[in-house]
Amino acid sequence: MKRLIVNADDFGLTPGVNQAIINGHDGGLVSSASLLANGEAFASAVALASQVPRLGVGVHLNLTEGLSVSPPGVVPSLVNRQGRFARPPGALWRALVLGRVSAAEVEKELRAQIEKVLAAGIAVTHLDSHKHVHALPRLGRMTLRLARAYGIPSVRRVAEHWSALGSLRRRFPYAQSPLFRQFLNSRILALLSLGWSRSFRRAGVASTEYFFGVTPTGFLDDQLLREILGHLPAGTSELMCHPGYVDEALRRTPTRLLEQREMEYRALTQPGIKHWAEGMGIELIHYGDLAA
């Protein structure tokens, strides 16, 4: 049996991203979404989620972009003078190692984000993170501990099963550099996730067996989607995606994914794709189903 979670990241980023995720669920393959507690369109995402009970919703833990959910004075080592996160993942990890960021403050902020989503009435199915920061040493253990503390049944394990690098390099010859960077990032994340299986079992937290989507970020079109679905192994898999509609709100965000989000949306909602996946023996689920 092949069971697949198609998870749309960045739910709550903008109204256009929110609507594309909902439309991708109603008319396409999207079965799950990850909600940004500090997203500018958080309230609209919560309202839309209440209308689609079969959409699984997790928390997209964020320590790298936007305003903190905690008051800045509570997490001063994490934010700048404007109360914004100011470190990319690598810099965040170095700051943690060197003691420039307080692990206690990180945990306070992650708890604040989870509690904000729970307080909005969302039945949280899983935890993952923006830029995959929860895969970093120490933060992974913290994330599993928080999942258990809040009764959240699942956590994303970022270990890409098939990168599609060869196909992508042939089809997008102008994008060799970003593709290689994303592939390298995929390998690093997979290495960081190597020892997670035992930690998941000890914490009583579920995850998928396979993961897809780091290397193809920004390149997920109709053809690639079908290639990925064709490479699904038996068992449980997650395909990470980033559908969205481009509007002025999205252009004001620091995201590099603009028109690429619309390309992903078109791929995920292409005519007949759901029926085609079912014909391949693929069952669409969300993280709540996985835990059950």
pLDDT single digits (tens) 113-141? 999 999 999 999 999 999 999 998 889 99
Average pLDDT for residues 212-229, to the nearest whole number? 95
Strands (E), the chain: 2-11, 32-35, 56-61, 124-129, 154-155, 210-212, 235-241, 282-284
Angle at 262 between CA 154 and CA 290, to 5 degrees: 15
Give the whole-number percent of the chain exceeding pLDDT 70.
99
pLDDT of residue 218: 94
Higher pLDDT, 291 or 168: 168
In this model, does residue 213 exceed pLDDT 70? Answer: yes
Q: What is the pLDDT of residues 182-206, one digit of tens each?
A: 999 999 999 988 878 788 888 889 9
Local structure of 128: helix, strand or coil: strand
The residues, ordered by sequence, that sit 6+ positions from 212 with a Cβ below 8 Å of its Cβ are 160, 161, 162, 228, 231, 237, 238, 239, 240
Distance in angstroms (rounded) separating the CA atoms of residues 86 and 202:
33
Q: Write the CA distances from 62 to 35, 142, 276, integer angstroms.
A: 10, 14, 35
Give 252-279 pLDDT, tens digit per residue.
988 888 999 999 999 999 999 999 999 9
pTM for the whole thing? Answer: 0.95
Residue 37: DSSP 8-state:
T
Fold of 2-291: TIM Barrel (3.20.20)
The pLDDT tens digits for 134-173 are 998 889 999 999 999 999 999 999 999 888 999 999 999 9
Token code pair at residue 282:
């693929």
Domain ranges of the chain: 2-291
**3-state class (DSSP) for residue 8:** strand
The mean of the pLDDT values for the chain is: 94
